Structure 1
Amino acid sequence: MLLSVCIPVYNFDVRGLVFDLKREISVNGVDAEIILIDDASDEGFKNIHQILQTEVENFICLEKNIGRSRIRNLFQNYASGKYLLFLDCDGKITEADFLKNYTDFIQKHPDTDVIYGGRTVSVSAPDDDHYLRWKFSVERENLPLEFRLNKPYLSFQTNNFVIKKNVFEKVDFNPAFQKYGYEDLLFAMDMKSAQIKIDHISNSIVNNDLESNAVYLDKVGESVESLATMLKDKNLAEKLSEVKLVKLYSGLPFKPLFELILGDFTLKVLKKKLSKGRVNLRYLDLYKLGLLIKKMK
């Protein structure tokens, strides 16, 4: 088996993604299997996914939620492919040769260890209530290939990547961090420390589930909390020193002054402004910085 498609599932209807993958496997004759692990989703999603039990190679349902890092590591126990392709469950495939693009690259570059294909969102702006996450994706995450090639580790994300199984057995996700945020960059920097090259290609998947501004801001808070925990570990802090927010925090000339300026009142004002959606992302940068200063106390 060349490729194991690994999809962690949590409270999202993954049927469309699975059937699109199965269709390409059949049409293009791709040597691939599909594995799903449900991280203790609500019963409603478990019920609608019953149909997938006979449609994929393996569908494991966990009784307790184990988080974003551990569930990805768990796929090593079930995947039989030489390479593992990790996809987020809220992804949507728009390329007819999506899997074939990866397998062709592997065949042309048999020494490749990790491949990141990229991500995108709808070109049409959503309503104001969902605008902030969309704007962040467009301006900060959905980077063109030429930019990603210049910063292969900082541009890496976990929504759509291939990794050789024996490499993943050596460098996997840090199980200490289960919440949302920065686990992908930590994983990338662990690979950088281990001198594992990340190849980048143009083979994006569409993020099919933009959160509301309120939900996204809650996730921003969770991500900054995770980052603060990482930075309190000197070994991890060194690995994350290139991250934009970390560089901004580390470069503050007089932190007590900024702690005062970006205190609780300012954070409330910024959050209220950001919740409207259509704002400059510099306000989001200030909000994150204020949260990080608070969490690092």
Structure 2
Amino acid sequence: MELSICIPIFNFDVRELIAGLKKEIETNGIDAEIILIDDASDLSFNQMNASLQDNVQHLIFLEENIGRSKIRNLFLQYARGKYLLFLDCDVKIDSEKFLQNYLSNIKQRPDIELIYGNFKIATQYAATLRNRYSVEREIFSGAQSTDFSLFKTVNFIIKKNIFEKFPFNEEMTDYGYEDFIFAKLLELNKVKFLAINNPVIHFDDTTNGVFLRKAEIGMNSLFKLSESGQNNVFIKDIKVYKVAMKLRQLKLSSLFLFAYGIFEDSIKKNLLSEHPHMKCFDFYKLGVLIRKMK
């Protein structure tokens, strides 16, 4: 088996995504299997996706939610492929040659152990804070790159033996930074990386208010990581953490929090508006993190 397509599901209808993948697999005779693991979704989504049972190699419904890191590692128990392609459930295929693009790059560069494929934003959600952040801070341009900092878990392919050696950190049970820590672990261990523009379309309808709450959870996850010195090698390059530590070293944390408190309501008002500004989001995250550090 050349390729195992691994899709963790949570509260999303993946039938269109699977149809697109199946069409390419069958049209081109690709040696691939599709594995779906549902992380305790609501019953309505389970019922929708249950119809895929006969169209995929495995469809597993978990009774309890185990989180973003642990569920990805769980695919190792089922996958037979030499390569594992991980896709978020809230995406759709953008090209009829999506899988072939990955496989041709693998054929050309068999030394590459991890390829990140990038993503696009569905136009109907492009104006939200979450997706404006993706466009300005996460989506890369250009045909290829070897910059490991570009990596996101939404769409990537990895050699199975590498993933067995370097799985996701299952101690990270809350939202935030599991992809960054995973990428840093691989980079530190000199895993050969390539980013190519082979995107999926991301359908993320997260509201601004929900994304702010997720950002706060993410800052809490980062704070927990910072409490252990052994994690410094993984988090030292995270921009918000670097700024927070610099303010702390200069004994300016209290002054920053005083200023942040004055503008906090205005910052939140902007971030909840139809025209959120990324600089406001940067200050919001920094304020949340420094408060936790205090």
TM-score range, shorter chain: over 0.9
Match of 1:187 among 182, 185, 196: 182
- Secondary structure in 1 matching 2:64: coil
**1:48-74: CA deviations, max 9, x gaps?**
111111110001110000000000000
TM-score computed with the length of structure 2 as normaliser: 0.94
5 Å-filtered alignment, 1:58-207, equals 58-122=58-122, 124=123, 126=125, 131-145=128-142, 149=145, 152-207=147-202
CA distance in structure 2 between the aligned counterparts of 1:296 and 1:227, rounded to whole angstroms: 10
Q: Relative to 1, partners in 2 of residues 1:277 and 1:291: Cα closer, same or farther, differing over 3 Å?
A: farther
Q: Give 1:223's aligned residue.
A: 218
2:240 is matched with which residue? 245
- For each residue in 1:196-238, what CA deviation from the matched residue of structure 2 results, as whole angstroms up to 9, or x when unmatched? 1211111011111231111111111111111111122212122
Specify the alignment match of 2:39 in structure 1.
Answer: 39
Alignment partner of 2:280 out of 283, 286, 297: 283
Q: Partner amino acid for 1:284?
A: F
Asked whether the 8 Å contact 1:136–1:281 carries over to 2, the reply is: yes
Q: Per-residue deviation at 1:126? A: 4.3
1:208 aligns to 2:206 (yes or no): no
- Deviations along 1:183-202, one digit per CA (max 9) or x if unpaired, are 10000001112111211111
In the other structure, the counterpart of 2:54 is: 54
Question: Contact between 1:153 and 1:185, CA under 8 Å: does it hold in 2?
Answer: no
Percent sequence identity over aligned pairs = 44
Letter in 1 for 2:139: N
Shift of 1:38: 0.3
Query: What is the deviation of 1:266?
Result: 4.1
1-side partners of 2:204 and 2:131: how far apart? 10
**Matched position secondary structure for 1:169:** helix
Q: Which amino acid aligns with 1:137?
A: S
User: Equivalent residue of 1:95, what SS?
Assistant: coil
Would you say the 8 A contact 1:154–1:243 is kept in 2?
A: no
Q: Aligned match of 1:262 in 239, 260, 268?
A: 260
The unaligned stretches of length 5 or more in structure 1 are none
Q: Is the 8 A contact 2:270 2:277 kept in 1?
A: no
Cα RMSD over matched residues? 1.6
| Separation in 2, partners of 1:56, 1:14 | 12
TM-score (norm 1): 0.93
Structure 1 stretch 247-256 or stretch 111-120: which is displaced more? 247-256
List runs of 5+ in structure 2 lacking aligned partners: none
User: How far apart, in 2, do the equivalents of 1:277 and 1:154 lie?
Assistant: 29
- Counterpart CA distance in 2 for 1:35 and 1:166 is 18
- Rounded to whole Å, the distance in 2 between the matches of 1:118 and 1:170 is 24
Report Cα offsets for 1:116-159 as digits up to 9, x if no partner: 0111113x4648xx52122111111111136x726x22110000
CA distance in 2, matches of 1:214, 1:2: 42
Verify the 8 A CA contact 2:177 2:221 in the aligned structure 1.
yes
Question: In the aligned structure 2, how far is the partner of 1:43 from the partner of 1:241?
Answer: 41
State the secondary structure of the residue aligned to 1:179. Answer: coil
Distance 1:75 1:238 in 2: 27
Partner SS for 1:145? coil
**Separation in structure 1 between the aligned mates of residue 200 and residue 217 of structure 2, nearest angstrom:** 25
Q: Distance in 1 between matches of 2:175 and 2:27?
A: 36
Partners of 1:126 and 1:49 in 2: CA distance: 23
Find the aligned partners of 2:5 and 2:138 in 1 and give their Cα distance. Answer: 23
Residue aligned with 2:165, SS = coil
Distance 2:223 2:110 in 1: 38
